[in-house]
Amino acid sequence: MTRRRYALAGLACAVLLIQAAHAQTATGGDAGAGKAVFQQQCAICHSAVAGKNMTGPSLFGIVDRKAGAVEGFHYSPANQSSGMVWTQSELDIYLLSPRDTVPHTIMTYGGLKDAQKRADLIAYLATLH
Tell me if 16 is assigned to some domain. Answer: no
d(CA 37, CA 110): 15
Residue 61: CATH number of its domain: 1.10.760.10
Domain holding 37, by residue range, is: 28-125
Residues 91-129 have pLDDT tens digits of 999 999 999 999 999 999 999 999 999 999 999 999 999
User: Which residues fall within 8 angstroms of residue 49, CB to CB, at 6 or more apart?
Assistant: 58, 60
Residue 15 falls inside a structural domain: no
74 domain residue, yes or no: yes
Give Cβ neighbours of residue 96 (< 8 Å, ≥ 6 apart).
Answer: 111, 112, 113, 118
Provide the number of structural domains found in the chain.
1
Does 117 fall in a domain? yes
* Burial grade of 27 (CB within 10 A; 0-12, 13-18, 19 or more): buried
Number of helices followed by number of strands (H, E) in the chain: 6, 0
The verdict on pTM exceeding 0.85 is: no
